[in-house]
């Protein structure tokens, strides 16, 4: 079951492995892609960065790279 993802002034709020999961990273990436398309900004592209914290690079690789238009 999905629950609300919390963001604060410093970014995503939650416990790694409980709130901050691969599934939730995919949810946020899909929501961001949908927003960007809805705003008519898809042609501008999007840069996704990550830092050196626990599994950050793996979470970056797990995002939807080129999701079909029907998904985003």
Residue 26 falls within a domain, yes or no?
yes
Both structure tokens of 16: 């790694």
Residue 65 has pLDDT above 60, yes or no: no
Contact 10, 16 (CB under 8 A): no
What pLDDT score was predicted for residue 63? 54
Contact 54, 22 (CB under 8 A): no
- Name the band, by pLDDT with cuts 50, 70 and 90, for residue 70: very low
Residue 35 falls within a domain, yes or no?
yes
What pLDDT score was predicted for residue 47? 77
Residue 14 falls within a domain, yes or no?
yes
Residue 20 falls within a domain, yes or no?
yes
Please count the structural domains in the chain.
1
Residue 53 falls within a domain, yes or no?
yes
The whole domain housing 24 covers 6-61
Residue 51 falls within a domain, yes or no?
yes
Both structure tokens of 55: 């599994």
SS3 state of residue 68: coil
Contact 13, 6 (CB under 8 A): yes
Per-residue pLDDT of 1-35, as tens digits, reads 567 888 888 888 888 888 888 888 888 888 888 99
């Amino acid at each position: 079951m999905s629950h609300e993802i919390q963001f604060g002034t410093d970014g995503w709020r939650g416990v790694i492995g409980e709130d901050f999961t691969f599934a939730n990273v995919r949810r946020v990436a899909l929501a961001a892609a949908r927003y960007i398309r809805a705003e008519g900004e898809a042609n501008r592209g999007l840069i996704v960065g990550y830092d050196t914290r626990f599994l950050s690079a793996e979470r970056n690789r797990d995002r939807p790279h080129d999701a079909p238009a029907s998904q985003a």
